[in-house]
């Protein structure tokens, strides 16, 4: 009788790992950083293999985010420019349908502002010469929107979305305050556009570009402001000065604490414009377009 070797003890089958985020899904793939199993829905491409979403998010927190030239986020699409352009066009469409109501309620009118209708300072900058005036009324909005289309994206890409919007709105407000100060009524985005002209000059100088073309652009438009009848020189020059000052504060702010300095400058300019409205009464004047 021969002896038989003992039978091997049965071994439990190897346990199949499951995704740490989806326990009902089996997987043999592991995150290259934390070694936890991950299913296809949780796999994120890495330089070698895959990583889990948490490790990718943790890695991104340590990566310095790209900034625009003067501290804003990198602009890939000039959404502020296109939004402002669309708002102007829509406002003009509504104005064309109901000119008396829209202009009577929302146009920049110094006496109305003096009576507490503060919204006119901004709403008036989104309105333009109504078609009821005939003649070359349509050229008013066409020129302003062409200028916004031509220089807006370049400025927005260098300033960033919020800083570009601040320059536009503060320039518009500066133009309206100048209109208020001299007691005239006006409509038009020209104050904001002239502010962008000033900002373009400042940015060009700061970056070392040849700014002579911008100076010619500003000079020609300033001359036209005083030569062509019915144009609000107050709105144009008020916007130009305001936009230039705001852009200079943004462009020349020191790198250390840049965001705080730029924010303080924007708030300070806004407060200064508000003080002008509070301290000085409007003067009598004629109705003009901006």
Catalytic residues: 190, 236
122 φ, ψ (degrees, to nearest 5): -105, -45
75 vs 67: CA distance, rounded Å: 9
Task: Return the ∠ at Cα 236 (arms to 230 and 242), rounded to 5°.
Answer: 160
Nearest alpha carbon to residue 124 among 110, 139, 143, 138: 110
Q: How many CA atoms does the CB half-sphere of 164 hold within 13 Å?
A: 27
Query: Do residues 242 and 174 touch, judged by C-beta distance below 8 A?
Result: yes
Torsion, Cα of 49, 53, 55, 56 (10° steps): 80
The radius of gyration computed from the CA coordinates of the chain, to the nearest angstrom, equals 30
């Amino acid at each position: 009788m021969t002896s038989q070797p003992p039978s091997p003890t049965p071994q439990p089958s190897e346990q199949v790992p499951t995704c740490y985020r989806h326990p009902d899904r089996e997987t043999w793939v592991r995150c290259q950083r934390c070694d936890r199993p991950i299913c296809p829905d949780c796999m994120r491409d890495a330089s070698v293999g895959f990583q889990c979403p948490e490790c990718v998010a943790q890695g991104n927190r340590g990566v310095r985010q790209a900034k625009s030239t003067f501290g804003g986020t990198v602009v890939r699409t000039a959404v502020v420019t296109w939004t402002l352009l669309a708002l102007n066009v829509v406002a003009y469409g509504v104005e064309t349908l109901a000119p008396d109501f829209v202009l009577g309620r929302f146009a920049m009118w110094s006496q109305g502002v003096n009576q507490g209708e503060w919204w006119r300072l901004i709403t008036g900058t989104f309105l333009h010469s109504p078609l009821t005036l005939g003649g070359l009324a349509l050229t008013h909005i066409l020129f302003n929107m062409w200028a916004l289309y031509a220089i807006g994206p370049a400025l927005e890409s260098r300033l960033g979305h919020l800083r570009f919007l601040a320059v536009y709105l503060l320039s518009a407000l500066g133009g309206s305050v100048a209109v208020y100060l001299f007691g005239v009524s006006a409509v038009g985005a020209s104050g904001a556009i002239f502010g962008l002209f000033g900002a373009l000059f400042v940015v060009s100088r700061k970056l070392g570009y040849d700014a002579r073309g911008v100076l010619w652009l500003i000079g020609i438009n300033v001359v036209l402001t005083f030569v062509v009848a019915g144009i609000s020189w107050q709105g144009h020059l008020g916007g130009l000065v305001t936009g230039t000052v705001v852009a200079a504060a943004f462009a020349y702010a020191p790198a250390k604490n840049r965001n705080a300095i730029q924010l303080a400058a924007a708030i300070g300019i806004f407060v200064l414009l508000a003080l002008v409205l509070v301290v000085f009464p409007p003067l009598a004047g004629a109705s003009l377009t901006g």
